[in-house]
Chain A
Amino acid sequence: GENVEQHPSTLSVQEGDSAVIKCTYSDSASNYFPWYKQELGKGPQLIIDIRSNMDKRQGQRVTVLLNKTVKHLSLQIAATQPGDSAVYFCAENGGANNLFFGTGTRLTVIP
């Protein structure tokens, strides 16, 4: 559960546009996939998560997709706002109690 690839590393979008971040993982035992948002000077905060018995979950302006066959997951943020600017991390649990994080995506929303 330690190999989580995330891309892009940086992403700039115009306010109102959508942002998409993608991750791939390698551990087939993983059954929990959270996405965290980290603002400058703060700790990561959970924004949405998905379990392996689902392939899609929606929140407020955020949608996460999970494709277990190819071990891909993605986060879409719709109608982006300047307050969405932050670093976003995907993670997976490798079927265990801890989490393994991706390398992060720095999202900048341009007003």
Chain B
Amino acid sequence: DAGVIQSPRHEVTEMGQEVTLRCKPISGHDYLFWYRQTMMRGLELLIYFNNNVPIDDSGMPEDRFSAKMPNASFSTLKIQPSEPRDSAVYFCASRPRSGRDNEQFFGPGTRLTVL
């Protein structure tokens, strides 16, 4: 299995631009999570899906952030318009419905820099 796949790995954009991050979870996993990692705030959960349905989006910072999961093998996190304070590493993780408890499998992350 290829594991969780994220693209792009690095993104540099200018303030005000739209940014779209992509994630392909591990096949067969029912849960998908989006995290943001910064030095100041550590690893924060933004939103998670179960069977493509958003369950908890209380971590989404504000209306500039949106996430979708149109099917079981693809999710996007969109920031529009982007701001310098959005600079961070964004991780996607997935988890099977059954199996070893809550173990989440993380992707390699997307490093976002907003100038």
Chain A contact residues, CB within 8 Å of chain B: 32, 34, 36, 41-46, 49, 51, 89, 93, 97-104
Which 4 residue pairs across A and B have the least CB separation, nearest first?
A43-B106, A101-B43, A32-B101, A103-B42
* B75 CB → nearest A CB, Å: 15
A97 near B50 with CB under 8 A, answer yes
Instruction: Provide the bound-state CA to CA distance between A102 and B37, in Å.
Output: 12
A-B contacts counted at CB < 8 A amount to: 51
Please determine whether A89 and B43 come into contact, CB atoms closer than 8 angstroms: yes
Complex: how many Å from CA A100 to CA B58?
A: 13
B102 in contact (CB, < 8 A): yes
Contact-residue size bin, chain B (C-beta under 8 Å from the other chain): 20 to 34
**Chain A positions within 8 Å of B93 at CB level:** 43
Which residues of the partner chain B approach A97 to less than 8 Å between Cβ atoms? 31, 48, 50, 55, 95, 102
In chain B, residues 83-113, which have Cβ atoms closer than 8 Å to a Cβ of chain A? Answer: 91, 93, 95, 100-109
Shortest Cβ distance from residue B13 to the other chain A in the assembled complex, whole angstroms? 20
Closest-CB distance, A97 to chain B (whole angstroms)? 6
Q: Closest Cβ of chain B: how far from A66's Cβ, in Å?
A: 14
A42 and B103 within 8 A (CB): no
Complex interface: chain A residues within 8 A of B4 (CB): 43
Q: Are B102 and A34 in contact (CB under 8 A)?
A: yes
B106 to chain A, nearest CB (A): 3
Closest residue of chain A to B59, judged by CB?
A98
Is A49's CB under 8 angstroms from B101's CB?
yes
Bound-complex Cα distance A99 to B105 (A): 12
A98 with B45: in contact, given A42-B108, A43-B91, A43-B108 (CB under 8 Å)?
Answer: yes
